[in-house]
A and B are shown apart, each in its own frame.
Chain A
Amino acid sequence: MPEARSSSGAVNRPLSPHLQIYRPLINMVMSILHRMTGVALYLGSILLAWWLTAAAVGPDYFAFVSGIFGSFLGQIILFGFTWALLHHMMGGIRHFIWDTGRALDIESVRFLSMMTGVVSVTATILIWGAVYLAR
Chain B
Amino acid sequence: MNMRTPLKNVRRLGSAKEGADHFWMQRVTAVANLFLGLYLVWLIASLAGADYAAVKTALANPINTVLLMLLIVSSTIHMRLGMQVIVEDYITGEGAKIICLLANNFFAILVAAVSVWAILKLSFGS
Contacts and interface: CB of A to CB of B under 8 A. Distances in A.
Could you say which of A85, A86, A135 has the most chain B C-beta atoms within 10 Å of its C-beta?
Answer: A85
* Interface size class, chain A: 20 to 34
Could you say which of B56, B76, B115 has the most chain A C-beta atoms within 10 Å of its C-beta?
Answer: B115
B110 to A, nearest CB: 9
A125 interface: no
B37 A52 contact: no
A89 B37 contact: yes
B122 interface: yes
Contact of A38 (B48, B82, B114, B122): B82
Interface stretch (A19-27, A39-47, A106-114): A39-47
Contacts of A85: 37, 40-41
Given A53-B114, A92-B33, A92-B34, A127 B41 contact: yes
A99 B34 contact: no
Given A52-B59, A52-B119, A95-B30, 5 more contacts: A45-B111, A53-B117, A55-B122, A93-B34, A135-B49
Nearest to A128: B45
Interface of B: 27, 30-31, 33-34, 37-38, 40-41, 45, 48-49, 52, 55-56, 59, 68, 72, 75-76, 79, 82-83, 86, 111, 114-115, 117-119, 121-122, 125
A4 interface: no
B41 A38 contact: no
Contacts of A45: 75-76, 79, 111, 115
A35 B56 contact: no
A15 interface: no
B79 A42 contact: yes
Interface string A93-135: 1011001000000000000000000000000000100110011
Nearest to B23: A99
Given A45-B111, A52-B122, A35 B86 contact: yes
7 contacts: A38-B79, A38-B82, A49-B118, A53-B114, A55-B56, A82-B41, A127-B41
Given A39-B83, A45-B75, A85-B41, A56 B34 contact: no
Contacts of A48: 40, 72, 115
Contacts of B83: 38-39, 42
